[in-house]
């Protein structure tokens, strides 16, 4: 990942492993594999299955779907999940406790 871009009270981490032409400065993790095309060629939605096999560094949090985010983003702002599946802010998701106790198909990639 590229260094974070700090702004007025927010921090965004750029995803650097993607050569993508967009109108924005960079793509954030939340814009990769979110089923919304952000790159003009759609490359931000290619090979999304690889996220599930991803291993995270010690200074990163591994989301339920395999995505890695900086550890400081884990439980930072409960109403703004950084993981695509929202598992870094489970207290905000009312069904999280249900899914943690009942590993069913509807809880697999996204929490209920």
Domain ranges of the chain: 1-46, 52-112
CB 51 within 8 A of CB 34: no
**CATH numeric code, 52-112:** 4.10.400.10
- Which pTM value belongs to this model? 0.45
Residues 100-111 as b or e (16 or more Cβ within 10 Å = b): eeeeeeebeeeb
Q: What percent of the chain is predicted at pLDDT more than 70?
A: 58
CB 26 within 8 A of CB 5: yes
Query: Does the structure show a pLDDT above 60 at 94?
Result: no
Residues 7-30 as b or e (16 or more Cβ within 10 Å = b): eeeeebbbbeebebeeeeebbbbb
The token duo for 97 is: 């406790």
Position 13 scores a pLDDT of 64
- Helices within the chain (DSSP H only): 96-101
Beta strands 60-62 and 68-70, pairing class: antiparallel
For 31-84, the pLDDT digits (tens) are: 788 778 888 888 888 888 776 677 899 999 998 878 899 999 998 887 788 887
CA 55 to chain centre: 14
Q: How many residues does the chain have?
A: 112
């Amino acid at each position: 990942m590229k260094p974070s871009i700090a702004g007025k009270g927010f921090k965004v981490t750029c995803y650097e492993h993607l050569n993508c032409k967009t109108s924005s400065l960079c793509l954030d993790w939340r814009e990769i594999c979110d089923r919304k095309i952000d790159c003009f060629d759609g490359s931000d939605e290619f090979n999304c299955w690889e996220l599930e096999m991803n291993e995270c560094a010690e200074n990163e949090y591994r989301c339920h779907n395999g995505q890695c985010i900086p550890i400081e983003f884990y439980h930072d702002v409960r109403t703004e999940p950084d993981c695509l599946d929202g598992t870094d802010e489970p207290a905000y998701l009312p069904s999280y406790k249900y899914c943690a106790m009942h590993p069913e198909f509807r809880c697999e990639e996204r929490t209920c």
